[in-house]
Amino acid sequence: MFPGMGGLDPRKMQGMMKQLGIQQEEIPAEKVTIEKTDGSKIIIENPKVQKIKMQGQESFQVTGEVREEAGEKFTDEDVKLVMEKTSTTEEKARATLEETEDIAEAIMKLSP
């Protein structure tokens, strides 16, 4: 952030940042979860979370052990649609959607 200041004492660095109007606060956390718009999640285990306030804006810096979880590729409404179009059970509709990952293909596969 500041070139040539690699060996600076952390307390001095905090003082300089405070003079510049930058405040940092460590947030104790066990896990950080980011829910993405596609339904998948980014999970950060054993995180180190820093809240940084600068010029009235708050931002967060998170480091830790990162893993991702895939989201469901279909919704409950998709399952209901397949059930209605094929007169099948919820279990069969859900299983076929999981297998095909496509509503139209699931309907075709379950249709007589």
Q: Give the pLDDT band of residue 2 (cuts 50, 70, 90).
A: low
Are 64 and 82 part of one and the same domain? no
- Cα torsion for 15, 17, 23, 24, to the nearest 10°? -90
Burial class (CB in 10 A: 0-12, 13-18, 19+), 97: buried
Domain count, the chain: 2
The answer to whether position 3 is within a domain reads: no
Residue 3 has pLDDT above 90, yes or no: no
The answer to whether position 6 is within a domain reads: no
Higher pLDDT, residue 32 or 112 = 32
Are 58 and 83 part of one and the same domain? no
Phi-psi label, residue 14: left if phi above 0, alpha if psi -120 to 50, beta otherwise: alpha
Are 90 and 65 part of one and the same domain? no
Are 28 and 55 part of one and the same domain? yes
Higher pLDDT, residue 6 or 93 = 93
| Cβ neighbours of 76 (radius 10 Å) | 10
The answer to whether position 2 is within a domain reads: no
Are 64 and 46 part of one and the same domain? yes
The reported pLDDT for the residue numbered 11 is 84
The answer to whether position 35 is within a domain reads: yes
The reported pLDDT for the residue numbered 106 is 95
Range of the domain at 48: 17-69
Are 98 and 54 part of one and the same domain? no
| Cβ neighbours of 66 (radius 10 Å) | 13
Residue-wise pLDDT tens digits, 23-77:
999 999 999 999 988 888 999 999 999 999 999 999 999 999 999 988 877 888 9
CB-based burial, 22-44: b 16+ in 10 Å, e otherwise? eeeeeeeeeebeeeeeeeeeebb
CATH number at residue 50: 2.20.70
Are 28 and 54 part of one and the same domain? yes
Residue 82 has pLDDT above 60, yes or no: yes
